[in-house]
Structure 1
């Protein structure tokens, strides 16, 4: 019987094997192809005292009964023990089954190598073959072992809060544990279900990462194991729990994506970017248009006259898409009403909403709309007719957050209502872009009459099915994922969306830090970024309009400022920057992206490379050199991956050798007024 399996990825491999007693699966090797040929760097070579063998082993996935002390991936009431029950692999998926003969729980551990990438996806499929219901208290997707040394693990993670999402943090874990989670019904602003692990003794050595494809509540932890390796566990939270698995029922965990690179965090980010492009598939070739969003200019005061005025200004700048944000529908004069009643406020648009949309499109602009399908206002027709459609607990009062409630999307009638509403909007009006927002976490997570319903899973499943429906029925409509900013940026959402809104914070230096973290996790073609006049919430230092434009050009360019307040000079500069962006957009969205230095450096810079073209975006973030008033030298940006003996020419005709750009660096000159730069290099 075969007892060891190797999955080959683009340049790496992942090898697992049954332990001698066939009680669990262990990791043998993970890294560049060929590392599986030799003794395992993960295996425990010592005796165990006061713990079980599984507690010291690099176990891939184990129930609490078998791994009671070091951390189990699955916790079932009454505990569980299992043995190998067969190889059920298909052409594309490694499927290894384990069976608990006492309680009937059958678990299949699944592995899929994503074609053309160094990403491996893992999940578990659980079936209750017994006669009694099982209660699942913890539902991990996978256990992931990393062979760190005596110094422990260096963990890089993304954290923050609303207006400060995706903040890059690093901590060294010499012993003990690390934990992140979200109970918000979405991945949330505070933590992101993404983690990178490196050996703490090596400066930016090989990096190993995980990213959870789950749009609901989740948990992720890392522990230094008894043998010294670092083990990460990630999965959905049983919220509200426990999860009941009835006899004959089947449950599939969310997928956990694993990635590795010998080139440190830069290399790991490249692997994740490659995976983002893989998930986009043919839609990667869809143009992500330069958009204008009217929210910051008008907020809830939406009228056709004012919106058209802004659309005319935007069209003159070269904008390609006009998006009307919150406030376009019946009863939405402020944040206390209207949600759920997705009918345009016809009286606000001369000639009606349809005529307004046609007028926007007549300017040469595509048309987009903001929606928040999962929310409902107590002051709405929908809530008056269907108060039972919101999450609630019998006998308990409802809690308002942002003056709204959350629809129980797992109820079939609610799902059908939302799908019908979206169909009506998209078939009645020529809408080419939909901004899907979600601003309200669940509080009273109950459904009267269904005390054991798996509400979080049902909500997420309905949300995914709605996005899938939009993809299939309206393939030309671009979808933007938003959740009060960057609260819903998991891989499951990203695989069904075209762009992601990382944060409601558009201030220049604040946003630079947010985008620095976002690009560790996702590729630039997903990163929607606006030019606005908003001051910084955390770093209020002013920056030029050019700085704001170059910053927004690092992903999918948008504008959210009140264009009527811009001077003619600002509009001229904006038109020039938009024209430049359109020239470099293919390289930004499809080229290899490398963040050279972040917001804490005096010069922050990102390099994009595709074929013989290199684009560098750079920003002055710190103290100036003092030149020309005092002695000083040019700031330098060492570039990556260039051909040493090739010649690179910029737009001004200056020539550089690849060796110079790699080892000396691209020179940039900063002044008080010149604080951002776009450099385009062509290899001759």
Structure 2
């Protein structure tokens, strides 16, 4: 079984084929931890775990000055006692007490996730007696008058393309209660086999009863030492609210080594997800966002190479990511004696979350993945996990799309978009999208946000005639929206000036000349759902690009208590997204926030792909995309081919630009009206090639190739057992161009005078299989074994600056 519950030994072992995670528990004195961490890493047996639980490692290493218990030995460290390493939970009670004394409540148990009562995609506070999140009075069928789904598909088509429910399967449940105060903490663990991942979350509950009074019985129960009875008996402050000041989802201890390294994916606007591998010093490494969104500074992810020697293909890598689309924090702590642990969760900055009796706070999932085969092995585990457990429509190929933003900016017209649509269809584009500027009085960024109806001057007949023509051309149709934002110059703001986040007696803060709507308010969420539903139906949309171009700073709302807005906004956003998904399961949804500001795992539970950066310079995109795909699979990464010279001023050939974009979800975004005939024919050929290798890029196994020289880079996409690949692979003999067994992209960012080519070692192939290797540019062909290509490598001529090549490999019978 994936979860072994050894109740007689007070031990649980969670295991996949390549990893084990083990915990133990006891009812000993409160100086110790109620749930002890035993192991995370390579597989161990049940007997190993039982023997490990008998070793009191902490006592052997304890001194009178040491923190106790140590955070690396605790599954969920909390504030109180001799603890002084980064904790996961801190609560203030009505009488001013801030220390917790959590003890085991009952016996840990393994349950079916359907019986657990929470689903991993749902985050946020649950008020006692609160209704569900569905919107009453809505049409669940999501069909328009013509009988077709508003997402442009047949309403009768089975909706079998949504992600499998991540809540299915077994969970280990461990419940803790305070010895005196009405608090219960429920720890949840589940596994993902293909990702070698343990997925953790926590629920914090106020177990008191409103109006309860302190009684002698409750005091006796609290003094009896029976934590389970005390917590539910109406002890001191039973009816008073409690204030959560910190509530992280999980703590992940990592095995100690003398010289660990840490990998982060940081950066800034226009330079997101830059991989940085550096030594992990003693102390705390804090990665965070305080912007109300995951932000551009860091992806909510960290990887630890404990031995400090991991390569792309060898060595242990422990990585942790958080599935949350708001302010977050991940702290990696290394003590001076080498112990390492990672705590991850919602950011505690300005957090004061109040729970009344009967309330509960469900925390987002934190995912820990173990890889014994280096950073590349870690990447493929994350890709398998996201495709199987996270992304919507996981087996549905992402379309080649065209976005008209850089062809028009705000200067849009109906006739112009008709012409662009005709040109895009001729290139083989499958989805046509209009970006900012199509709505209301949106001629600049000073007006229009909030009024989501077509501009009467740019589209006097509305959006439906263009949508109908796009569909006639065989493409899907979509629009850009930014529903969390509003301009003061808009009908919405004039009607509801109180719907924004703002402080009384303080000036408003603006970002991109806009204010932020209060998504913590149910009436604002209802407005967003109803407005977007109308837009989807009237324009017959297949796609929405959901943007967010400023941070949340004035976290004040009449709908949420002080310090709760940071959580309530994300919960409101998830409710809106969830309702759109429920009504339109085949609607494409792209997440964007000034580029890569919202590309976390939480967002990807709803969105089909993310916009990783506003920077479309292909040279800089290589590094952005390299970092992005260290965690996220290529089918979640939009990548545009834009006109040159672009923002960087570099004059980069169309082949290099397109090859970079073909490493993700390919999109064209230039001014097609101004393109030459040669550019149109070249782009059409690249689109054809992309469609042939799309199953490999979007569903295959990704292998980063070692750079044979400075300024070179390569990536291989290899046939895999992923259900999406099997479902979309085109076999030979069908009359359609078959899917090859591998596709390899190589890039030369700068040519050295002494060399016009490099040898690339191609990993991931079957060693004894022979492959026909074809250079799609020159047409040259070679035949080699997988063993030869991985060991000796293949010489590829790259003859100039910004040169690139696509190689396709087909197994020889």
Equivalent of residue 49 in structure 1, options 61, 64, 67: 64
Secondary structure at the counterpart of residue 676 of structure 1: strand
Write the deviation string for residues 466-525 of structure 1: whole angstroms up to 9, x where unpaired.
111121211121111111111111111111111111001000111111000001110011
Q: Equivalent residue for 1:28?
A: 38
Q: How many residues align?
A: 677
Q: Equivalent residue for 1:111?
A: 189
Write the deviation string for residues 11-66 of structure 1: whole angstroms up to 9, x where unpaired.
32211112572732222122232266546599444122313431265211121104
**1:202, CA displacement in angstroms?**
2.3
User: Does the alignment pair 1:605 with 2:714?
Assistant: yes
Counting only pairs closer than 5 Å after superposition, residues 519-558 of structure 1 correspond to structure 2 as 519-533=629-643, 535=645, 541-558=650-667
Write the deviation string for residues 427-466 of structure 1: whole angstroms up to 9, x where unpaired.
1122111111111211221014754362121111111121
Q: Equivalent residue for 1:9?
A: 16
- Cα distance in 2, alignment partners of residues 493 and 202 from structure 1: 33
Equivalent of residue 665 in structure 1, options 787, 793, 801: 793
Q: Equivalent residue for 1:124?
A: 202
Equivalent of residue 335 in structure 1, options 441, 445, 468: 445
Q: Equivalent residue for 1:382?
A: 492
Write the deviation string for residues 205-263 of structure 1: whole angstroms up to 9, x where unpaired.
20001110111101111111354221111110245421112222111111101101001
- The 3 A distance-change label for structure 1 pair 674 and 392 is closer
User: Does the alignment pair 1:616 with 2:739?
Assistant: no
Q: Equivalent residue for 1:194?
A: 301
- Cα distance in 2, alignment partners of residues 450 and 284 from structure 1: 35
Q: Equivalent residue for 2:533?
A: 423
8 Å CA contact 1:146, 1:208 repeated in 2: yes
Equivalent of residue 577 in structure 1, options 657, 670, 686: 686
- The 3 A distance-change label for structure 1 pair 124 and 67 is farther
**1:317, CA displacement in angstroms?**
1.2
Counting only pairs closer than 5 Å after superposition, residues 490-505 of structure 1 correspond to structure 2 as 490-505=600-615
8 Å CA contact 2:638, 2:667 repeated in 1: yes
- Cα distance in 1, alignment partners of residues 256 and 749 from structure 2: 35
- Cα distance in 2, alignment partners of residues 357 and 201 from structure 1: 55
**1:532, CA displacement in angstroms?**
0.5
Deviates more, 1:582-591 or 1:238-247: 238-247
Q: Equivalent residue for 2:247?
A: 139
Q: Equivalent residue for 2:811?
A: 683
- Cα distance in 1, alignment partners of residues 281 and 606 from structure 2: 38
8 Å CA contact 1:148, 1:198 repeated in 2: no
- Cα distance in 2, alignment partners of residues 163 and 76 from structure 1: 38
- Cα distance in 2, alignment partners of residues 598 and 390 from structure 1: 50
8 Å CA contact 1:607, 1:616 repeated in 2: yes
**1:618, CA displacement in angstroms?**
1.0
- Cα distance in 1, alignment partners of residues 597 and 271 from structure 2: 11
What's the C-alpha RMSD, in Å, of the aligned pairs? 2.1
Secondary structure at the counterpart of residue 160 of structure 1: strand
- The 3 A distance-change label for structure 1 pair 562 and 31 is same
User: Does the alignment pair 1:165 with 2:266?
Assistant: no
- Cα distance in 1, alignment partners of residues 336 and 375 from structure 2: 26
- Cα distance in 2, alignment partners of residues 141 and 397 from structure 1: 35
- Cα distance in 1, alignment partners of residues 247 and 400 from structure 2: 41
- Cα distance in 2, alignment partners of residues 19 and 620 from structure 1: 59
**1:598, CA displacement in angstroms?**
6.6
Q: Equivalent residue for 1:283?
A: 393
- Cα distance in 2, alignment partners of residues 406 and 133 from structure 1: 29
Q: Equivalent residue for 1:631?
A: none
- Cα distance in 2, alignment partners of residues 302 and 129 from structure 1: 57
- The 3 A distance-change label for structure 1 pair 148 and 599 is farther
- The 3 A distance-change label for structure 1 pair 616 and 485 is same
- The 3 A distance-change label for structure 1 pair 357 and 237 is same
- The 3 A distance-change label for structure 1 pair 69 and 496 is same
- The 3 A distance-change label for structure 1 pair 235 and 508 is same
**1:563, CA displacement in angstroms?**
1.5
- The 3 A distance-change label for structure 1 pair 536 and 60 is farther
User: Does the alignment pair 1:454 with 2:570?
Assistant: no
8 Å CA contact 1:28, 1:36 repeated in 2: no
**1:662, CA displacement in angstroms?**
0.7
| Shift >6 Å, 4+ stretches | none
Q: Equivalent residue for 2:762?
A: 639
Secondary structure at the counterpart of residue 254 of structure 1: coil
**1:325, CA displacement in angstroms?**
0.3
- Cα distance in 1, alignment partners of residues 560 and 689 from structure 2: 56
- Cα distance in 2, alignment partners of residues 673 and 143 from structure 1: 47
- Cα distance in 1, alignment partners of residues 687 and 455 from structure 2: 32
Secondary structure at the counterpart of residue 308 of structure 1: helix
8 Å CA contact 2:750, 2:801 repeated in 1: no
- Cα distance in 1, alignment partners of residues 661 and 100 from structure 2: 51
- Cα distance in 2, alignment partners of residues 615 and 437 from structure 1: 32
Deviates more, 1:617-626 or 1:131-140: 617-626
**1:413, CA displacement in angstroms?**
0.7
TM-score by length of 2: 0.80
Query: Is there any run of 5+ residues in structure 2 with no aligned partner, and where?
Result: 1-6, 93-97, 113-169, 209-237, 721-739, 775-779
Write the deviation string for residues 367-404 of structure 1: whole angstroms up to 9, x where unpaired.
11100010000111100110110011222221111100
Secondary structure at the counterpart of residue 188 of structure 2: strand
- Cα distance in 1, alignment partners of residues 602 and 392 from structure 2: 17
Q: Equivalent residue for 1:648?
A: 771
Q: Equivalent residue for 1:89?
A: 110
Query: Is there any run of 5+ residues in structure 1 with no aligned partner, and where?
Result: 629-633
8 Å CA contact 1:280, 1:498 repeated in 2: no
Deviates more, 1:640-649 or 1:32-41: 32-41
Secondary structure at the counterpart of residue 561 of structure 1: coil
Secondary structure at the counterpart of residue 272 of structure 2: coil
Counting only pairs closer than 5 Å after superposition, residues 476-515 of structure 1 correspond to structure 2 as 476-515=586-625
Q: Equivalent residue for 2:91?
A: 76
- Cα distance in 1, alignment partners of residues 44 and 110 from structure 2: 22
Q: Equivalent residue for 1:564?
A: 673
Secondary structure at the counterpart of residue 549 of structure 2: coil
Counting only pairs closer than 5 Å after superposition, residues 224-373 of structure 1 correspond to structure 2 as 224-225=334-335, 227-238=337-348, 240-279=350-389, 283-349=393-459, 351-373=461-483
**1:594, CA displacement in angstroms?**
1.3
- The 3 A distance-change label for structure 1 pair 599 and 238 is farther
Q: Equivalent residue for 2:75?
A: 60
Deviates more, 1:10-19 or 1:544-553: 10-19
